Structure 1
Amino acid sequence: MAKAVKQNIRTLSLRDMEAYFEEMGEKKFRAKQVYEWLWLKQAQDIEAMTNLSKEIRTKLKEDFTLPALTVDTTQYSSDGTVKSRFRTHDGHLVEGVLIPTESRVTACVSSQIGCSLSCKFCATGYIDRKRNLDFDEIYDEVVLINQQSERIHGKKLTNIVFMGMGEPLLNYKNVLKAIERITSPDGLGMSPRRITVSTAGVAKQIRQLGDDNVKFKLALSLHAANDRKRHEIMPINDSNNIQSLIEALNYFYKKTKNEITFEYILFNNFNDSLMDADELIKIYRQVPADLVNIIEYNPIDFAKFTKPTEEKVEAFMAYLEKNRVNARLRRSRGKDIDAACGQLANKDTH
């Protein structure tokens, strides 16, 4: 007879765990102890739960697995950025980045192993999507990056951005469940206002975020301000055109009143003219967006794009400013270790 597949212990709620211990003839408070080990003390294995008897730990190991993420390799950039490649229990690799600035320490986390969207300018877009990350794997990414932050900077993470590998809204349930654990008082206790989920634009799921009344911020990766150009670099635009995204963002805002940001990477002679800036302004005026992040492009091996000149970037920014657009130029961090925006590709570092 085939052996039953053991359940991942982190999929149990506190109530499930209490029921498990009662059935075992143990006291209910044992469930709370295990729950604390899993989420507050971030135990990497059942053996680490030292206030449980050896018998209980043995029984837990017989009945459950604890498939924690582990750090495979770490790279340190000259600007203080740290990129980690994590290994999953089933041997997949996924990357996350620690980005320190003077005022904040941010974790940039992944939601999928690879990506199915094939955006032409992004290294992850050239990797096939292997699978979604489970909610506890996303939680582990944040835990491990937070430990790095405490070790290197002596302080906890201040912010989390879902801007790593994958499209968060195509792993909707796991991303929301991970954020629920990250923000829970019996998890990492982080404010949802310090979390930003970035999407390439899945209109239906943006509306769903509104219906679910989420508390975190939303960023839309726009990168081109008309459908023809956006379709050229982001195939997702076929099924989620700009008008449908404007409507979805307005719906999201009406429901949640949460902050919305536009992300716009400048590509030389593609979307960096003042006419492009005009089209961007038109979109900005149709959505209650707080900010437009203008992002420096980071060249990757497979893509034909290049960076615009500094003069062009300055002219674009000045034009937005003149038209009262709240825009910020985001300089790239961690370029020397392929940790910057659009560069995450699980490259072998050996």
Structure 2
Amino acid sequence: METLQKKDIRAYNLPQLKEVFKEMGEKPFRANQVYEWLWKKSARSFNEMSNLSKALREQLNANFDINAVKINGSQFSADKTIKNTFVLHDAHLIEGVLIPTTERMTACVSSQVGCSLTCKFCATGYMERKRNLTADEIYDQVVLINQQAIENYGIPLSNIVYMGMGEPLLNYANVLKSVDRLTAEDGLNMASKRITVSTAGIAKMIKKLGDDNVKFNLALSLHAANDQKRNEIMPINEQNTLAALAEALKYYFAKTKNPVTYEYIVFNDFNDGIQDAMELAKFCKHVPCKVNIIEYNPISFADFTNTTEDKLDVFANYLKKQGITTVIRRSRGKDIDAACGQLAVKEGQA
């Protein structure tokens, strides 16, 4: 009898798993038990599944894999941020970050190995995109970062942001499946409103989020409300202009009634003037929104610098006077390259 190649058991949904168990001559409730071990109890091996017979565990081991993500290394920042390098079953490396603040405990997770978007200010954009992550690889990052939060700070995760390596909307099906497993009652049962998916702006996929009536939060990495400037730093804008994004966001809001968050990094003498603030305020009129102003975190590949405190204050105050909810986000984990835009697996890190 030829040896069957092992399959990733977490690639099956529950009805499919029941079919697999039926073919194995097992009762359907066994599939429910295994599914609970995988998604509710986050089992990383069949041997942990103590309510299954030894014979069934051996059979599962012989035919299936659990491609568990492992921590390859962790760095601790002076501000208590923890950056992790995760190793995947095929030896690819990704990064994910635990960001503790007084109000929340946030996991920043990756959705791709590398990225294809080449945003000029982001370290990941200078990496090649190797592949999409599976839903279970995204789920595992959350499980491991949650364990880390409890072990180091005694507090479980409160929030998840898809703001690590990769463009989540170019891995649409796996990202939505991972959110389902994180939020479902037969998964980790986390609140959808505590999850934010961030995109560089892919208009047709933003519309698809509306069609799928998603319950999580959407953040758009805007960084300029002027097509010429946005083209310069984000080549994706050439196919997804601000007009196309505005139309997509209106469609998304009409379907979901979810306000949108705009992320705006302020680069010195590039997008931090009063004219830029006026253009941003105009763009904010399309849908209910808030603006997160983010300080720039330098990377070796790019020549950008952060704006000055004075210009930052003028910029933020202009938006506030226009009635726009505006928050200035201070960087976390900058000293270990864990801050926004700094994630990139370095050569020789494996």
TM-score, normalised on structure 2? Answer: 0.97
Say whether 1:116 aligns with 2:120: no
Distance 1:122 1:48 in 2: 40
Deviations 1:233-274 (A, max 9, x none): 000001000010011001000000112100100000000011
**In structure 1, what is the equivalent of residue 293 of structure 2?**
294
1:277, 1:316 within 8 Å by CA — same for their partners in 2? yes
Deviations 1:59-110 (A, max 9, x none): 1112111111000001111111111110000000000011111111111111
Task: Give the 5 Å matches for 1:1-350.
Answer: 3-289=3-289, 291-347=290-346
For residues 162 and 198 of structure 1, what CA distance do their matches in structure 2 show?
6
Report the Cα distance in structure 1 between the residues aligned to 2:94 and 2:238, rounded to whole angstroms.
28
* 1-structure distance, mates of 2:235, 2:309: 29
Partners of 1:250 and 1:288 within 8 A in 2: no
Q: Is the 8 A contact 2:107 2:157 kept in 1?
A: yes
SS state of the match for residue 286, structure 1? coil
The superposition leaves residues 14-53 of structure 1 with CA deviations (integer Å, 9 ceiling, x where unpaired) of 2232333333333332222211211111111122222222
User: Percent identity over the alignment?
Assistant: 60
Amino acid at match of 1:325: I
Q: Distance in 1 between matches of 2:164 and 2:113?
A: 10
> Secondary structure at 1:97's aligned position in 2?
strand
- How many residue pairs match? The answer is 349
Q: 2:26 and 2:226 mapped to 1: Cα distance?
A: 63
- TM-fit CA distance, 1:349: 6.0
**Following TM superposition, by how much is the alpha carbon of 1:2 offset from its aligned partner in structure 2, in angstroms?**
7.5
Q: Is the 8 A contact 1:114 1:166 kept in 2?
A: yes
CA RMSD of aligned residues (A): 1.4
2:5–2:63: 8 Å Cα contact kept in structure 1?
no
Taking structure 1 as reference, are residues 236 and 137 closer, same or farther at Cα in structure 2, changes over 3 Å only? same
How many Å separate the matches in 2 of 1:56 and 1:192? Answer: 35
Quote the Cα distance in structure 2 between the aligned partners of 1:214 and 1:319: 32
Distance 2:174 2:203 in 1: 18
Q: Which string of whole-angstrom CA distances, capped at 9 and with x for unpartnered residues, describes residues 129-148 of structure 1?
A: 00000011001011111111
Is the CA contact 1:9–1:65 (under 8 Å) kept in the aligned structure 2? yes
2 CA distance for matches of 1:237 and 1:196?
A: 21
Q: Structure 2: how far apart are the matches of 1:349 and 1:7?
A: 29
Structure 1 residue 3: Cα displacement = 4.8
